[in-house]
Amino acid sequence: MKVVLFCGGLGTRLRDYSETIPKPMVNIGYRPILWHIMKYYAHYGHKDFILCLGYKADYIKSYFLNYDECISNDFVLSGGGRQLLMLNSDIQDWKITFVDTGLYSNIGQRLKAIEKHLSNEDVFLANYSDGLTDLPLDHYVDNFLHKDVIASFLSVKPNQTFHVVSTHENGIVSDIQPVTSSNLRINGGFFAFKKEIFDFMQEGEELVLEPFQRLIQKKLLLAYDYNGFWACMDTFKEKQMLDDLYARGEACWEVWKTSEGTNHKQPVRV
């Protein structure tokens, strides 16, 4: 199943980094958040990626063209540095399609731009490329396949520090509470689509606005509630939070590091 990754936006809310590198390439630990997301999908067997590029596309292309397996894998160096034996590998069996989808395109336009690359796919996955989760992806996909719907998205509770305010008609506050304690849920940016999604899209439209409204009217849009770990990296504060989790060894989105997901490939000589 192909995975479409939207990684062409300007990332203006992460301005400390976005002026020099695209947001999906901002590191969490030793690797960009884009890599963490791809590694997550690959763990569940989805290793055919389509990158919807835009802002600083050259940076993303160069990263993978010059990919260094040693950064996140164990290896043996011998022969005075002339021989390198990789004990495992990240991307050896990945297939990555790089597509320029426009500098200022919205998500809907980016998805339309790569439609031809999905011509043989009945179902595909997609992601905003700025969020991490420990969601059991196989359960999510299986649930989607057994529903009579065209699209599904991950529905999560927001983790921001805002407060939700309720008022009477005269403006007097009737309630105020942290958004995390409310019943509000948001789009977590992990999608599953059937190919019919393109029948609900028109040129220039934003994906979650007009197309999703058409799906809602026909009861073809599914929200998958998940209360486990989910976090996005939309601001510098959120990046710091993810960095802290990684540094403490609490990066629960690294599902590939569980005993079930341990890489048992044969060593690769480089």
Contact status, residue 190 vs residue 135, Cβ threshold 8 Å: yes
Provide the pLDDT for residue 263: 41
pLDDT level of residue 88 (50, 70, 90 thresholds): confident
Residue 186 has pLDDT above 60, yes or no: yes
3-state secondary structure of 136: coil
Q: What CATH number was assigned to the domain covering residues 2-157+185-269?
A: 3.90.550.10
Structure-block tokens of residue 20: 């020099």
The reported pLDDT for the residue numbered 267 is 41
What's residue 268's pLDDT?
A: 42
Whole-number average pLDDT of the chain: 89
Q: Residue 175 has what pLDDT?
A: 86
pLDDT in tens, 24-36: 999 999 899 999 9
Q: How far apart are CA 73 and CA 75, in angstroms?
A: 6
Domain ranges of the chain: 2-157+185-269
- Which whole number is the average pLDDT over 122-137? 97
User: pLDDT by residue (tens digit) across 49-73?
Assistant: 999 999 999 999 999 999 888 888 8
| pLDDT at site 31 | 94
| pTM summary value | 0.88
Q: How far is it, in rounded angstroms, from Cα 207 to Cα 6?
A: 12
